[in-house]
Copies of this chain bind each other. A is one copy, B any other.
């Protein structure tokens, strides 16, 4: 292949030299052949004598075309014959084409007749590749035909794609069943299609100047697949390179920034209501135990802390500087941070790209890079890191410690995180504002949270990924260890428009985002509230070991709705084995419903809940439980909550820890019961049958992608 590569390199250089941006069919054919992408067989017969050999190589049916630089309009010249079925027809066609060509243009220089394999039958599919502004080279697969064009049934993966990625793509389209053959149609050669997908993804990776590539259609047959038409668009402009420190450098900086031993507040203020005052108060009142250095040109002391005129005057080392000064002063202060070797600046000030002042933002990025200071923001609320009691923000302090790390690109969403966390007592390790993401972004945060022992789940509100490729690489690695949840704003055309005016960022094609995030094992939340609930619940939910889910419900009506929600969230109700069915039946009234859901009926005492839940935990074939509680006088909400927590706890002591989620329907007392259950490791929700399954479904999606599930 290396010699092939060299010759392709040479070919592309030559095309560049000619100032072209597209390939001729014969050139495109060279690329395909070099990467093992089957194209129709062909050959040129210069004489009638050569014809039989060439035709035998190509096979029938065939298309025959005049080859002459002097004849541009081949069909008009009578120089094309299609559907040639056998050697006799080929001879006849050869003579006819030659005769027509001479009649058309007597002095034409004729090189011969091209005989090309005519592709018929099979299923028409499309394999392509494009350069996404965020993710770079991406490979695409879809069915051909006008209907699919209308339904947009196409799937994407980052290039290069593995064989496994390619096989997953064949399953990812809505009409996947077609490939397996329906209504007596034959199944296509999946391996052959996968090989083409992989080859295309490698080709565009090896030659970044290939901006777009389309194999359309590819004829997929039961025994192979052939690209009938190849289109290649080139772009020799080198893509902008983003500054990417090494993982070690990122960690060195991030560990100091996020868990600092000393914080400077540049623009600290003694004046109530000022941002620089709020930041000081939050640091102090939040209980931060490290050094706090207020920086102010005139004041001597702020909130009992000694003031310095500049960070350079501070005696000890500083790990992070929180900026609360106007935008035009930021660059100057950054240089001082550089002189002091502070690894990071938290840039609260606005007045940069988000207000149209792109130059000022470019300048601070340049200064940051020169001085080796990483920038968080600008245009952010700051960040929280609860293991250090650190509230480096002008918002209110937040102190419910836990295992969820959250970030938001928008300040509003950040405030929603704080409010939701506080009211639901969501345990949080960190909340980080990323704002304009002039420098630090999601991949830096992921790299930090990956090794942060206090973080078990990471949830991110994202408007755009400035370097989706790098995000994907890091997220793929991190998501195998800890769930990564992403709320992608600007999903829809309207949403994307608002994103443009808000962040001046180009919002990506949502289908690409969707596929690539899934490819990286990221759990995508479709709503803000869902992202928050997942961040709250995923860390307390153990990882399931298999796909078998059983619903145990006191309300038959909830059972139906919970079953609906199972399907909606890609979960599988276990087909109940008869012995297990019999075992459940021992505990429930004779008119309780068979199978799954296990309907224990509404009038049952606490023991029925207890016995059936215990059986569900004990039986090794069951991997997760969904509980549907119905408020009755016989088993009041708190009685149910306590017995459930107790049984689950008992089994945890026996090292049996399965995911259990609950839906509680009843009067307002169920709210308190839900809180109690949550505090005991059981995500539970009142007045909804959907939310518990959204949570369980997300845990499963993560576990499947991380390869933690057997089947």
Closest 9 CB pairs of A and B: A410-B557, A412-B555, A355-B591, A495-B564, A416-B665, A492-B567, A502-B556, A501-B593, A412-B630
A595 / chain B contacts, CB cutoff of 8 Å: 497, 501
User: Please, how many angstroms separate the alpha-carbon atoms of A354 and B666 in the complex?
Assistant: 21
- Nearest CB on B from A411, distance (A): 6
Nearest opposing residue in chain B for A669, CB measure: B419
In the assembled complex, A514 has its CB within 8 A of some CB on chain B: no
A665-B419, A667-B419 as given contacts; A594 in contact with B492, CB under 8 Å: no
In the assembled complex, A382 has its CB within 8 A of some CB on chain B: no
A559 / chain B contacts, CB cutoff of 8 Å: 498, 502
| Chain-B contact segment, one of A128-136, A244-252, A366-374, A525-533 | A525-533
Told that A410-B560, A419-B667, A494-B573 touch, could you supply 18 new A-B pairs with CB distance under 8 A? A149-B182, A150-B178, A355-B590, A410-B555, A412-B666, A415-B665, A420-B686, A489-B560, A490-B560, A492-B564, A494-B564, A495-B560, A495-B561, A495-B567, A498-B560, A499-B560, A527-B565, A528-B688
- Nearest CB on B from A95, distance (A): 28
A527 / chain B contacts, CB cutoff of 8 Å: 565, 688-690
30 contacts between A and B (CB under 8 A): A146-B178, A147-B147, A147-B148, A350-B603, A355-B591, A411-B555, A411-B602, A412-B554, A412-B558, A412-B628, A412-B666, A413-B558, A415-B667, A416-B666, A416-B686, A418-B667, A419-B666, A420-B687, A423-B671, A423-B686, A461-B557, A490-B563, A492-B566, A492-B568, A495-B564, A495-B567, A497-B595, A498-B563, A501-B595, A527-B689
Q: Which of A159-205 contact B (CB under 8 A)?
A: 174-175, 177-178, 182-183, 185
A563 close to B410 (CB less than 8 A): no
Flag A683-711 by CB within 8 Å of B: 1 or 0 each.
Answer: 00011111100000000000000000000
Nearest opposing residue in chain B for A422, CB measure: B668
A665 close to B413 (CB less than 8 A): yes
A556 close to B412 (CB less than 8 A): yes
In the assembled complex, A356 has its CB within 8 A of some CB on chain B: yes
Nearest opposing residue in chain B for A532, CB measure: B687
A183 close to B687 (CB less than 8 A): no
- Nearest CB on B from A198, distance (A): 25
- Nearest CB on B from A283, distance (A): 18
A409 / chain B contacts, CB cutoff of 8 Å: 557
- Nearest CB on B from A526, distance (A): 8
| Listed residue (A413, A603, A671) with the most chain B CB atoms within 10 angstroms of its CB | A413
- Nearest CB on B from A461, distance (A): 7
- Nearest CB on B from A38, distance (A): 24
In the assembled complex, A296 has its CB within 8 A of some CB on chain B: no
B461 close to A415 (CB less than 8 A): no
A422 / chain B contacts, CB cutoff of 8 Å: 667-668
- Nearest CB on B from A358, distance (A): 12
User: Please, how many angstroms separate the alpha-carbon atoms of A631 and B494 in the complex?
Assistant: 24
User: Please, how many angstroms separate the alpha-carbon atoms of A435 and B517 in the complex?
Assistant: 44
A108 / chain B contacts, CB cutoff of 8 Å: none
In the assembled complex, A493 has its CB within 8 A of some CB on chain B: yes
- Nearest CB on B from A517, distance (A): 16
A396 / chain B contacts, CB cutoff of 8 Å: 667
A273 / chain B contacts, CB cutoff of 8 Å: 633
A560 close to B150 (CB less than 8 A): no
In the assembled complex, A670 has its CB within 8 A of some CB on chain B: yes
In the assembled complex, A143 has its CB within 8 A of some CB on chain B: yes
A412 close to B665 (CB less than 8 A): yes
| Listed residue (A177, A461, A489) with the most chain B CB atoms within 10 angstroms of its CB | A489
- Nearest CB on B from A488, distance (A): 9
In the assembled complex, A151 has its CB within 8 A of some CB on chain B: yes
In the assembled complex, A79 has its CB within 8 A of some CB on chain B: no
In the assembled complex, A326 has its CB within 8 A of some CB on chain B: no
Nearest opposing residue in chain B for A501, CB measure: B593
- Which bracket fits the contact residues of A? 35 or more
A529 close to B667 (CB less than 8 A): no
In the assembled complex, A328 has its CB within 8 A of some CB on chain B: no
In the assembled complex, A25 has its CB within 8 A of some CB on chain B: no
A408 close to B557 (CB less than 8 A): yes
B557 close to A412 (CB less than 8 A): yes
Nearest opposing residue in chain B for A667, CB measure: B419
A502 close to B146 (CB less than 8 A): no
In the assembled complex, A491 has its CB within 8 A of some CB on chain B: yes
In the assembled complex, A597 has its CB within 8 A of some CB on chain B: yes
User: Please, how many angstroms separate the alpha-carbon atoms of A686 and B416 in the complex?
Assistant: 8
Q: Which of B178, B350, B528, B666 contacts A687 (CB 8 A)?
A: B528
A528 / chain B contacts, CB cutoff of 8 Å: 561, 687-690
Q: Which of B150, B350, B416, B568 contacts A177 (CB 8 A)?
A: B150
A573 / chain B contacts, CB cutoff of 8 Å: 494
| Listed residue (A409, A553, A564, A633) with the most chain B CB atoms within 10 angstroms of its CB | A564
A489 close to B667 (CB less than 8 A): no
Flag A236-267 by CB within 8 Å of B: 1 or 0 each.
Answer: 00000000000000000000000000000000
User: Please, how many angstroms separate the alpha-carbon atoms of A690 and B529 in the complex?
Assistant: 8
Q: Which of A407-433 contact B (CB under 8 A)?
A: 408-413, 415-416, 418-420, 422-423
B395 close to A495 (CB less than 8 A): no
A149 close to B630 (CB less than 8 A): no
Flag A575-589 by CB within 8 Å of B: 1 or 0 each.
Answer: 000000000000000
In the assembled complex, A297 has its CB within 8 A of some CB on chain B: no
A413 close to B670 (CB less than 8 A): no
In the assembled complex, A145 has its CB within 8 A of some CB on chain B: yes
A490 close to B151 (CB less than 8 A): no
A667 / chain B contacts, CB cutoff of 8 Å: 395-396, 415, 418-419, 422
User: Please, how many angstroms separate the alpha-carbon atoms of A34 and B489 in the complex?
Assistant: 56
User: Please, how many angstroms separate the alpha-carbon atoms of A145 and B143 in the complex?
Assistant: 14
